[in-house]
């Protein structure tokens, strides 16, 4: 399907009823309402101008006049009412709203509930299809944290975070200027200019221990540029340390979850993976978590650290 043509047709069918009810609306206002440029709006009007009922004699065609800078439309009775939602269209918005409804703190709850009710009644049969598509974006996120960050973002306030770094088992303190609140892979992050790191950082909201919205302007400096959140999370640097792991069949998910450089199939469904990391502290923690589902092949010092840690941990259970 040609996305361009159907999207444009859909816009035209929405635009005609709107313009018919607002004769003389300025071009700029109409363009803004439909989120397009004035040039695009004029192209749309030029297209409407040559369409009409069969016969396509002058009397059959849609009349459009915009030379004065204001739009007048006539002779478009057949399409004078806005087109109903298609199934996929209704599903997309219904599922989107339901997804938001599970994330308290992100938005005006009453508006989501009432929009859901109205859209469900307008959607007809599509409401049933929407039941079969679900998205979980609420996983492990605290309402108060989300609400506070959103507040800081909206009012452009600096925020003080106590932030957990589990890979080093450390709680850090930092002032940040919020830029975006973004969901990546089912988790919420705030992208912000971090004054401690003097750079743009992503902070996972479920690792924010406390957040205080300060009474200080939090407009990020000009050099704070948003990055593609997915890339920012998973782009290793060439200077990083290379770690090689053997993964048991039950631990193969690690290869999907972490940025693995290459993976090699081994006997009996084992997988040998190589990954790069700036700070390998998390590697022994991961391998302990897997509890015999993975083994560190290289580097040796990380492998030795794992053995020491596991032995010391087990000693705690011997004594107790």
Instruction: State which of positions 156-175 bind other proteins (CB under 8 A).
Output: 164-166, 169-171
Nearer to other proteins, 238 or 266 (CB): 266
Say whether residue 91 binds other proteins (CB under 8 A).
yes
CB of 155 to other proteins, least distance (A): 10
Given candidates 31, 48, 205, 275, which one binds other proteins under the rule CB under 8 A?
48
Cα–Cα separations (whole angstroms), residue 131 to 88, 104, 159, 230: 12, 20, 38, 28
Q: How many angstroms separate the CA atoms of 264 and 270, rounded?
A: 9
Looking at residues 257 to 296 of the shown chain, list those that interact with other proteins (rule: CB under 8 A).
265-272, 284-296
Task: Give the shortest CB-217-to-other proteins separation in angstroms.
Answer: 16
Q: Is 230:202 a contact under the CB 8 Å cutoff? A: no
Euclidean distance between CA atoms 192 and 178, whole angstroms: 4
Structural contact between residues 189 and 179, judged by C-beta atoms closer than 8 angstroms:
no
CA distance 166 to 53: 67
Does 221 contact other proteins by CB under 8 A? no
- Give the C-alpha separation, 84 to 89, whole Å: 10
- Taking CB under 8 A as the rule, does residue 299 contact other proteins? no
Please, which of residues 19-38 interact with other proteins by CB under 8 A?
Answer: 21, 33-35
At its nearest, how many Å lie between other proteins and the CB of residue 70? 18
144 binds other proteins (CB under 8 A): no
Q: Cβ of residue 239: shortest distance to other proteins, in angstroms? A: 26
The residue among 84 and 239 lying less far from other proteins, judged by its C-beta, is 84
Alpha carbon distances (Å) from 156 to 98, 183, 193, 216, 223: 28, 20, 12, 9, 16
Give the whole-angstrom CA distance, residue 64 versus residue 62.
Answer: 6
- Residues with Cβ within 8 Å of 223's Cβ and at least 6 positions away in sequence, in order, are none
10 binds other proteins (CB under 8 A): yes
Q: What is the DSSP letter of 61?
A: B
Part of the chain binding other proteins (CB under 8 A), chosen from 51-59, 193-201, 211-219, 235-243: 51-59
When asked if residue 227 is in the footprint of other proteins (CB under 8 A), the reply is: no
Query: With binding defined as CB under 8 A, does residue 187 bind other proteins?
Result: yes
State yes or no: residue 64 binds other proteins (CB under 8 A): no
Chain residues 195-214 in contact with other proteins, contact rule CB under 8 A? 207, 209
Q: Give the angle subtended at the CA of 209 by the CAs of 208 and 210, to the nearest 5°.
A: 95
255 contacts other proteins (rule: CB under 8 A): no
Nearest approach, Cβ of 58 to other proteins (angstroms)?
A: 14
């Amino acid at each position: 399907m040609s996305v361009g043509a159907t999207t444009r047709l859909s816009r035209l069918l929405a635009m005609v009823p709107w313009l018919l009810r607002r004769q003389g609306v300025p071009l700029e206002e109409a363009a803004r309402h439909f989120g397009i440029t004035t040039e695009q709006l004029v192209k749309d009007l030029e297209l409407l101008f040559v369409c009409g009922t069969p016969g396509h004699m002058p009397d059959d065609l849609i009349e459009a006049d915009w030379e004065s800078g204001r739009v007048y439309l006539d002779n478009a009775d057949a399409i004078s009412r806005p087109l109903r939602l298609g199934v996929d269209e209704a599903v997309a918005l219904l599922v989107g709203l339901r997804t938001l409804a599970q994330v308290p703190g992100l938005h005006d709850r009453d508006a989501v509930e009432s929009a859901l009710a109205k859209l469900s009644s307008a959607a007809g049969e599509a409401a049933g299809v929407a039941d079969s598509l679900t998205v979980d974006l609420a996983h492990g996120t605290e309402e108060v944290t989300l609400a506070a960050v959103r507040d800081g973002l909206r009012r452009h306030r600096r925020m003080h975070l106590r932030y957990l770094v589990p890979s080093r088992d450390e709680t850090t303190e930092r002032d940040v200027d919020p830029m975006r609140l973004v969901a990546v892979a089912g988790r919420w992050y705030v992208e912000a200019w971090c004054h401690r790191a003097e750079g743009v950082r992503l902070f996972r909201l479920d690792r924010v221990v406390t957040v205080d919205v300060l009474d200080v302007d939090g407009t990020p400096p000009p050099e704070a540029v948003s990055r593609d959140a997915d890339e920012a999370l998973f782009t290793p640097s060439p200077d990083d340390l290379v770690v090689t792991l053997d993964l048991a069949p039950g631990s193969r998910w690690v290869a999907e979850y972490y940025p693995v450089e290459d993976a090699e199939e081994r006997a009996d469904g084992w997988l040998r993976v190589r990954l790069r990391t700036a700070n390998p502290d998390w590697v022994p923690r991961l391998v302990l978590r897997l509890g015999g589902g993975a083994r560190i092949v290289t580097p040796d010092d990380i492998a030795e650290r794992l053995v020491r840690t596991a032995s010391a941990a087990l000693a705690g259970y011997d004594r107790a």
